[in-house]
């Protein structure tokens, strides 16, 4: 259940009905926009535990990206540039001159790309196991074949199996099985049963993966990021490896790196209190 101080709202952005959580009172502080990941993710799945505490300091917005959650799911090609254009229109509609961007995985890649294209609209960046800081996926050739064939869609169908879903989460997303509570598991499992679960991300993967690498390889542009940046990375993340985060930290001029022990791809869910503290300290300190 959502805490009482988090509102659920809808906006029309580029002719799409977009669902967004809104929390916190408008103040002199720069607002925060949370950007979730891919797969079967949503704003609430990624940020449900952290929105409330962060909204005690900042005005917070957490949209379901197009193709996810309660937002519209048009039959289009989902690309990083599409999401950049969407985010820019959303920020304009919200009347925000600047925002802090907190992005996880796909949302992290979106935050990087947006900050490069619209540096005047980004105050600070928090990148959580971000996409775009590597040139190839782990086992890239195999991943390319997987994404381009029926196997990708089959993997989402297998999410109807509770056993497969639990195995997927514990092998790639969550390090400590005790953190995968019955409530959290059920929330994720139900998301995988939605009719359009995974379709937007499959489209994104097809648009991003080439035989040679990923299309949105942002490693060569990281040195151009102007915003102060915090990188939060799980040490046991099999998808976005810690070495990628360290190299990104070396390239981004005003960056800090925070490595979480015993943590895979979901730091904000695996260690919410530590995550909240790190984010608030970074956004409030000079």
CATH code at position 76 = 3.40.50.1820
**Grouped pLDDT means (10 residues each) for the chain, 286 residues:** 73 96 88 97 97 95 98 96 98 96 99 98 98 84 72 78 93 95 95 91 90 91 98 96 97 98 97 97 91
Burial of 130 (C-beta count, 10 Å sphere; 0-12/13-18/19+): buried
Structural tokens at position 254? 């005003």
Query: Residue 150 falls within a domain, yes or no?
Result: no
Query: Residue 149 falls within a domain, yes or no?
Result: no
Residue 238: what are its φ and ψ, rounded to 5°? -80, -15
- Per DSSP, 220 falls in state G
Number of domains in the chain: 1
Residue-wise pLDDT for 197-213, tens only, equals 989 999 999 889 888 88
Predicted local confidence at residue 176, as pLDDT: 96
Q: Which domain holds residue 31?
A: 6-135+217-284
Query: Residue 206 falls within a domain, yes or no?
Result: no
Query: Residue 23 falls within a domain, yes or no?
Result: yes
19 beta partners: 10
Query: Residue 257 falls within a domain, yes or no?
Result: yes
* Helix orientation angle between 199-208 and 150-157, rounded to the nearest 10 degrees: 150
Query: Residue 190 falls within a domain, yes or no?
Result: no
Query: Residue 279 falls within a domain, yes or no?
Result: yes
Query: Residue 146 falls within a domain, yes or no?
Result: no
Residue 79: what are its φ and ψ, rounded to 5°? -130, 170
């Amino acid at each position: 259940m959502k805490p009482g101080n988090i509102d659920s709202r809808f906006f029309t952005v580029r002719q799409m009905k977009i669902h967004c959580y809104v929390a916190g009172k408008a103040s002199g502080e720069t607002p925060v926009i949370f950007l979730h990941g891919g797969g079967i993710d949503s704003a609430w799945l990624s940020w449900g535990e952290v929105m409330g505490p962060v909204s005690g300091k900042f005005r917070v917005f957490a949209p379901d990206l197009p193709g996810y959650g309660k937002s519209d799911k048009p039959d289009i090609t989902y690309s990083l540039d599409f999401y950049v254009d969407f985010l820019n229109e959303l920020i304009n509609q919200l009347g925000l001159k600047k925002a802090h961007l907190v992005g996880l995985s796909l949302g992290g890649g979106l935050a990087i790309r947006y900050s490069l294209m619209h540096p005047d609209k980004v105050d600070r960046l928090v990148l959580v196991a971000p996409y775009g800081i590597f040139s190839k996926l782990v086992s890239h050739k195999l991943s390319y074949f997987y994404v381009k064939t029926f196997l990708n869609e089959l993997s989402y169908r297998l999410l109807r199996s509770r056993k497969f879903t639990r195995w997927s989460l514990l092998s790639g997303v969550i390090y400590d099985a005790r953190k995968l509570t019955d409530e959290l598991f059920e929330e994720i499992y139900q998301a995988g049963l939605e009719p359009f679960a995974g379709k937007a991300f499959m489209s994104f993967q097809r648009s991003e993966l080439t035989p040679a690498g990923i299309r949105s390889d942002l490693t060569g542009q990281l040195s151009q990021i102007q915003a102060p940046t915090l990188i939060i990375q799980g040490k046991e993340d099999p998808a976005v490896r810690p070495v990628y985060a360290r190299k990104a930290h070396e390239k981004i001029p005003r960056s800090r790196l925070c490595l979480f022990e015993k943590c895979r791809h979901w730091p904000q869910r695996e260690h919410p209190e530590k995550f909240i503290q790190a984010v608030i300290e970074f956004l409030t300190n000079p």
